[in-house]
Chains A and B, each alone.
Chain A
């Protein structure tokens, strides 16, 4: 294949190959990402005999290069000649599976798992399984940890003797000296159990599980909790009690809070895995204990699961269990000393109302909601407010609105701007729940006040909030309530407020549509082009660029163009720059399609053409390269910088 098409087609590939060893990491990375192009040009034979041996030894490289390489090799089967030759990919991936960076190793393992499927059963035993063994008995723990992830993919497809060997290797790794390997084995235990025959799950996996769950290092024990979920789903119900439950009970009462945290964190999964009967007898008391745990981290994790746990309780006596066992604990958590616990609870507690129904909610939950709405910690209040929709469905929001409004107002005026920012984000949701009437009456003033907040981030959020409100309530509502106020700020003595007008127009023009934009907003923007503050003037240019697509071509030609041209000769450098940006952008909008295609084409070849930067345009071999496009661009009379969205991240050096 190589060389057949003449020199011109070889050149970009030659550049890519050379850049595999360029000193600039970014160029190496680009080359690695185009590895398939290189391989395609070299052909399967040379890919196998030359490219792969070279790649096998590049493990000295930067992590990001190695990561990209590991990923590429997972999709390389066709490029080395199909499944028949897929084993050629094993050596480079093997060396990547031993590097110190976890992300690279994980990616290498992922790719190995992927290509293992492309091995024939024979190749799997001849090539793949020996690799797994080599990794599993490697000197360094990095290779042994990588091995843990490979057992489960080859086990189902090998002969029973090899299967026995694999089980033996896994057993060895589970009792490895280094905790790293034991952790890797523990985290793959569930996955491995799934591919084993049930008898071996009982004879092999269960002892390993029990051992890992009582490992001396709590970092290993906590991973056994995760395995517990998968193992429990595999075993028949009658075996759970003897084989899994002792370990699970022990984990729920582990000395180390991290293990208990893990139990709390995985509680819903555990609950589903062990079934309703065990849940009722064992998990309910265990969950109660976790909700009352002495470590706040554990309580918070458990509090997070309250809703899911209750949802998954067997329906026949769900209400009774919740009311008599869970709710008392929840009530205590509402006044917990730790704010993370309270806010974790606040983020799910509203969900209980759908489970308990209207009467219970009003009698038992509503007081809790109201307490949390008055909590000293803003995060707790925010979490309650952000979940209002659940309650709205059950009891209607009116029950809450009395307490709601003061809470919202207080948050809206909080001294911390991040809190104000958070409540702004919930405004569209609240507006939807409360309806336009309530909103106009109580919340509209707040929304407008944020526009003149002294923190920029708040003004910015307030702007996008308006957009969302307009999307919800419609353009007519906007025209009556928001637009006049926004446009009024154009005459504000404070230039920051005048700029806010422009930002709002940027955000609203699309939602409001052509009519409002042309008739009401555009005149204000154009008038502001005479502002004495340069920041306002260049933001006018930016606004015009932004709302240009919404306007009709007549308005563009007769109104926008003269103003932009005036700004393009402004005395201020930035105003000039942004005006020119806007012009070229709008010109690009109007440019004929054919020219746009040519302009964009050059960027696809950018990788290959970069080497040309030190050469003159005339010597560049590519008719579509950026130099050529630059020349046609000049010929077309577009002497202003272009700023349209590029398909790749950076603009070419001009």
Chain B
């Protein structure tokens, strides 16, 4: 059966992580007693060292085996800190960054040698791992500040080094990832091994020389943008002017200059004078990909507001409001919860905005405010199960969505480790699964089908047997190529289209 894009089929490429994945959070935290233990170990989904280059297909094995045993609890528990919280390709797609609950950022690099071999081009290996955020404590408010990375955004490349913004709930950091392949050699006062020389033996001055060394990747924090958000930061977006970015929390959006850390401008503030009148919060915000003055933000009420920064310094008044009137026949207790938008993304060409709410993906044309031009049901079969999803809190899951390189296909995640693709031109969709079972190299992913009542056909999965602990919240699509990264709870799967 064909996948989206007509004859495009997806095959497995890699998985980063351990075999005993998909452990629900509750179990995890029960098994790992010491909170201190949860931090400061290499996330094992990133522990595959770039040593397996000669046998790329064996990566899976390599990753599983090389997961440090000592890092796992006695009962092989997964670490909560390993739960992937964001996935993002850089602008060329050569690098793929992931953030996790433990405050770490792991960057994967496309294997250079294989880039020109179509069937192996999606091999990514660990390039750099660093601790971006540490847990903190706000003494004034008696609040713990989690180290979890909420968002990562790459900056347009400005020189040989790469830069990214990573944020937790409160603090945004600008990181530089650079390579070094030379080191200085030669001291006057000591030998290379550190022994001091006799002072009297110095008869001539030596200037150090640089000699080649093994490539070293360094991540260094360049700027820390702190103390500007009272609420939790949910989005960071870099402006197309290469100079500013925005950060959004539940009630406010701030505008920063990338070079200035002690000042930011508040551009949106929806905090009512009386907090009891609070009816909606900001859930996501993003800059337009080309127009430096335009940004959108979405709300928990299912609306999207487009603001123009040219009109006024404060963008409290929006220029456009995208909102679809609710279908009264679907009205229920859960209507408001499921209409909350969990992610908003501009298409690459800047004409459309995609939003994800609990059950659907909608695509809006910037020129039409009253309804979306396209609506795709992600897992409509869950509508009957909203009650139990409310009870186990799954209804508050924040699914993200992404566009492919030419805006013709969109992708988003679902439960049971399923993810969905919608081909906009051909009006086709597919359900695929990220799982260990079909993770043989280059194995083609079989489309999955969920049966909704009635007789279950072969290969179909019943709604009742879906595992709600296995969810795919974060996905990313290579900016040009058909390579996708899909994060399950603590595994990162990389798939590519089938090469004939």
Residue numbers of A with Cβ under 8 A of B are 2-3, 7, 10-11, 13-15, 17-18, 20-21, 41-42, 46, 50-51, 53-54, 57, 60, 98-100, 102, 140-143, 178-180, 183, 216-219, 255-258, 294-297, 611, 621
Contacts and interface: CB of A to CB of B under 8 A. Distances in A.
15 contacts: A7-B203, A10-B204, A17-B205, A46-B207, A50-B207, A53-B210, A98-B159, A100-B158, A140-B157, A140-B158, A217-B241, A218-B293, A218-B310, A257-B310, A297-B313
Contacts of A183: 243
Contacts of B188: 14-15, 17-18
Interface string B170-213: 00000010101010100111100000000110111111111000
B265 to A, nearest CB: 10
Contacts of B313: 257, 295-297
Interface string B133-162: 000000000000000000000001111110
Nearest to B160: A140
A57 B210 contact: yes
A336 B251 CA distance: 28
B61 interface: no
B159 A99 contact: yes
A7 B243 contact: no
Q: Which 7 pairs show the lowest CB-CB distances between chains A and B?
A: A256-B310, A14-B188, A50-B207, A140-B159, A180-B242, A219-B241, A57-B210
A141 B49 CA distance: 33
A15 B210 contact: no
Nearest to B161: A100
Nearest to B291: A216
B312 interface: yes
A295 B292 contact: no
Contact of A179 (B160, B203, B241): B241
Interface in B16-35: none
Contact of A141 (B199, B203, B242, B312): B242
Contacts of B202: 7, 10-11, 14
A222 B161 CA distance: 30
Contacts of A10: 202-205
B189 A15 contact: yes
B316 interface: no
Given A2-B204, A21-B208, A219-B241, A255 B310 contact: yes
Mostly, the B contact residues are loop
**Most chain A C-beta atoms within 10 Å of own C-beta, residue among B176, B182, B207, B209:** B207
A217 B292 contact: yes
Contacts of B208: 17, 20-21, 54
Given A10-B202, A14-B189, A100 B163 contact: yes
A182 to B, nearest CB: 10
Contacts of B205: 2-3, 10, 13-14, 17, 41-42, 46
Given A7-B203, A53-B209, A256-B309, 10 more contacts: A10-B204, A11-B202, A13-B205, A14-B189, A41-B205, A99-B159, A140-B159, A178-B242, A295-B312, A295-B313
Contacts of A20: 208
Contacts of B156: 178
Contacts of A142: 158-159
A18 B189 CA distance: 7
A100 B241 contact: no
Contacts of B163: 100
B240 interface: yes
Contacts of B309: 256
A180 B202 CA distance: 50
B287 to A, nearest CB: 12
Contacts of B189: 14-15, 18, 611
B326 interface: no
Nearest to B290: A216
Interface of B: 156-161, 163, 176, 178, 180, 182, 184, 187-190, 199-200, 202-210, 218, 240-243, 259, 290-293, 309-313
Mostly, the A contact residues are helix
B159 A257 contact: no
B259 A102 contact: yes
A218 B310 CA distance: 8
A595 to B, nearest CB: 29
B227 to A, nearest CB: 19
A21 B161 contact: no
A257 B243 CA distance: 18
Given A54-B207, A295-B312, A256 B293 contact: yes
**Most chain B C-beta atoms within 10 Å of own C-beta, residue among A7, A14, A50, A180:** A14
Contacts of A53: 209-210
A100 B203 contact: no
A17 B207 contact: yes
Contacts of A50: 207, 209
Contacts of A51: 207
A257 B203 contact: no
Given A179-B243, A257-B313, A42 B160 contact: no
A102 B159 CA distance: 12
B211 to A, nearest CB: 10
Given A11-B202, A17-B208, A257 B311 contact: yes
A255 B293 CA distance: 11
B312 A11 contact: no
B205 to A, nearest CB: 6
A51 B207 CA distance: 6
Contacts of A218: 292-293, 310
A142 B176 CA distance: 15
Contacts of A102: 259
Contact of B178 (A60, A219, A257): A60
A438 B200 CA distance: 76
Contact of A3 (B180, B203, B240): B203
Contacts of A7: 199-200, 202-203
A10 B205 CA distance: 7
B210 A621 contact: no
A141 B207 contact: no
Contacts of B209: 50, 53-54
Contacts of B290: 216
Nearest to A254: B310
A3 B206 CA distance: 12
B234 to A, nearest CB: 26
A512 B212 CA distance: 69
A298 to B, nearest CB: 9
A128 to B, nearest CB: 22
A375 B176 CA distance: 49
A183 B240 CA distance: 13
**Most chain B C-beta atoms within 10 Å of own C-beta, residue among A178, A217, A257, A294:** A217
A183 B243 CA distance: 10
B184 A21 contact: yes
Nearest to A614: B196
Given A256-B310, A257-B312, A621 B199 contact: yes
A18 B176 CA distance: 27
Nearest to B197: A14
Contacts of A14: 188-189, 202, 205
B210 A54 contact: yes
Contacts of B200: 7
A256 B182 CA distance: 48
Nearest to B178: A60
Contacts of A42: 205, 207
B243 A219 contact: yes
A58 B242 CA distance: 26
A633 B122 CA distance: 71
Nearest to B240: A179
B489 to A, nearest CB: 36
B183 to A, nearest CB: 9
Contact of B206 (A17, A179, A180, A216): A17
Nearest to B182: A57
Contacts of B243: 179-180, 183, 219
Nearest to A103: B259
A172 to B, nearest CB: 18
A593 B490 CA distance: 73
